[in-house]
Chain A
Amino acid sequence: QVKLLQSGAALVKPGASVKMSCKASGYTFTDYWVSWVKQSHGKSLEWIGEIYPNSGATNFNEKFKGKATLTVDKSTSTAYMELSRLTSEDSAIYYCTRWSYWGQGTLVTVSS
């Protein structure tokens, strides 16, 4: 069955970067776009962007351009998202998703 397994919670300092992972299984990784979604505490869902593993093509929400970098490792069927220049506004749960399937989320806390 399709699974998206995300990396664990991260506590990072303001101004730093964080890189999280999303390991896919149960399907052909290169055939489907993978999206990343942000959910701040008590808030709705916010689409960050998407990547097509076969080609590495990406699309971004304008709001997250310069903030998020999306990459993949086809050899391990893993998608990555790196967030840079972190502030308290970046504290949230981040999900990877294929829209029908979602990872369990990665909690990022930005604090000194």
Chain B
Amino acid sequence: DIVMTQAPLSVSVTPGESASISCRSSKSLLHSNGITYVYWYLQKPGKSPQLLIYRMSNLASGVPDRFSGSGSETDFTLKISRVEAEDVGIYYCGQLLENPRTFGGGTKLELK
């Protein structure tokens, strides 16, 4: 199974500042079609996960452009610019390249 490792476990950010979350996969997530199958989700307290970024760097519909995704074949970063109160929650990276789909352990974002 592909192991997804996130860091840090938690991050505390001053509103208006930026935050970055890292995710590393144990295997390349680059498909032969040129697409990198890493996804980023935010789970707000008591809610279902919501898609932020798909295929490494594509912003999901309705997601503010303060969010961006980047990376290589095995190392990925979610960046949040100008953090707002509504960004609080747990962020998960996940790989949809192969079965079983797997997810990182999550990064909790809190406000200072």
Is the beta-carbon distance between B48 and A44 smaller than 8 angstroms?
no
The A/B interface has a contact count, at CB < 8 Å, of 42
Among B13-21, B78-86, B99-107, which stretch is in contact with chain A?
B99-107
Kindly identify which residue among A44, A61, A63, A99 contacts B51, using a CB–CB cutoff of 8 Å: A99
User: Closest 7 CB pairs between A and B?
Assistant: A47-B101, A61-B100, A102-B48, A45-B103, A44-B105, A59-B99, A100-B51
A69 interface residue (CB < 8 Å to B): no
Kindly identify which residue among B50, B60, B106 contacts A44, using a CB–CB cutoff of 8 Å: B106
Is the beta-carbon distance between B100 and A62 smaller than 8 angstroms?
yes
Kindly identify which residue among B60, B100, B104 contacts A100, using a CB–CB cutoff of 8 Å: B60
Contacts of A104 in B (CB 8 A): 48
Is the beta-carbon distance between B54 and A100 smaller than 8 angstroms?
yes
Kindly identify which residue among A46, A63, A103 contacts B48, using a CB–CB cutoff of 8 Å: A103
Contacts of A63 in B (CB 8 A): 100
Contacts of B104 in A (CB 8 A): 44
B89 interface residue (CB < 8 Å to A): no
Known: A44-B105, A59-B99. 11 other contacts (CB 8 A): A45-B92, A45-B103, A50-B99, A61-B100, A61-B101, A62-B100, A63-B100, A95-B48, A99-B54, A99-B96, A102-B48
A6 to B, closest residue via Cβ: B48
Is the beta-carbon distance between B99 and A105 smaller than 8 angstroms?
no
Is the beta-carbon distance between B101 and A35 smaller than 8 angstroms?
yes
Chain B, interface size category, equals 20 to 34
B94 interface residue (CB < 8 Å to A): yes
Question: Closest CB of chain B to A33's CB: distance in Å?
Answer: 10
Residues of A within 8 A of B (CB): 35, 44-47, 50, 59, 61-63, 95, 97, 99-105
B39 to A, closest residue via Cβ: A99
In angstroms, Cα B101 to Cα A95, docked, is 14
Contact with A along B58-97 (1 / 0, CB 8 A): 0011000000000000000000000000000000101010
B4 to A, closest residue via Cβ: A44
Is the beta-carbon distance between A45 and B48 smaller than 8 angstroms?
no
23 contacts between A and B (CB under 8 A): A35-B101, A44-B92, A44-B103, A44-B104, A44-B105, A44-B106, A45-B49, A45-B94, A47-B99, A47-B100, A61-B99, A61-B100, A95-B49, A97-B49, A99-B39, A99-B54, A99-B96, A100-B60, A100-B61, A102-B48, A102-B49, A103-B48, A105-B48
